[in-house]
Amino acid sequence: MSAKPFDELPLSTTSLSLEERARWIAVLDPLLKYANSPGDWGYQSKLGVLTQKLHQVRAEIVSDPATGAQP
């Protein structure tokens, strides 16, 4: 069985509660503030890709289609 590309993976195997979503955002925000922009590290570098993925995951947490709610 081959692994799915990152973009095809679900956010989680279960829906996140509002509390879980808020907690994830609370820990991601300081990390993203430090990481700033992927271009700061180089888009094709590990830190650049990590920064892009962290921004993507945070956006998915905020707009979780499973609940449609905003924290």
Q: What's the pLDDT tens digit per position in 31-45?
A: 999 999 999 999 999
Q: How confident is the model at residue 66 (pLDDT cuts 50, 70, 90)?
A: low
**Residue 8 CB coordination number (10 Å):** 7
* Every domain of the chain and the residues it spans: 16-62
For residue 64, the model assigns a pLDDT of 67
Q: Tell me the C-alpha distance between 62 and 45, whole Å.
A: 26
Kindly report, residue by residue over 5-28, the tens digit of the pLDDT: 999 999 999 999 999 999 999 999
Q: What pTM does this model have?
A: 0.82
